[in-house]
Amino acid sequence: QVRLVESGGGLVQAGGSLRLSCLASGGAVSDYAMGWFRQAPGKEREFVGRIIRSGPIYYGDSMKDRFAISRDNAKNMVHLQMNNLEPEDTAVYYCAADEAPYGSRRAETYEYWGQGTQVTVSS
């Protein structure tokens, strides 16, 4: 099974950018649908986006064009580029792997999860 470790979170001012990374071991990111989710205190875990095995990328409706997912098969990593961050983006961000070829928007369908990385956006 695959192990996932997120990194790249931190504290930024509104309007700033962060690039999150998810390093996989024990499995190839190209063998899973790789999802990004976020969860703020007291809120449901929210779908950010996913890249499916064959490469197409899908985003949550609320993510707009500020977020971009990419996959680096050589490094066995998935990234989430976040631009023009807002205080409402403050959350713990998780990467996850789904053995289903297409993955889904639902967190409960993903079998493997990282520990998460904190993103805090100050106003």
DSSP at 119: E
pLDDT of residue 26: 97
pLDDT of residue 93: 98
- Give the per-residue pLDDT at 101: 86
Output the tens digit of pLDDT for each of the chain's 123 residues: 899 999 999 999 999 999 999 999 999 999 999 999 999 999 999 999 999 999 999 999 878 689 999 999 999 999 999 999 999 999 999 999 999 989 999 999 999 999 999 999 999
Is the separation of the CB atoms in 25 and 76 below 8 Å? yes
The pLDDT, as a whole number, for residue 45 is 96
**CA-to-CA distance for 88 and 90, rounded, in angstroms?**
5
Per-residue pLDDT, 65? 86
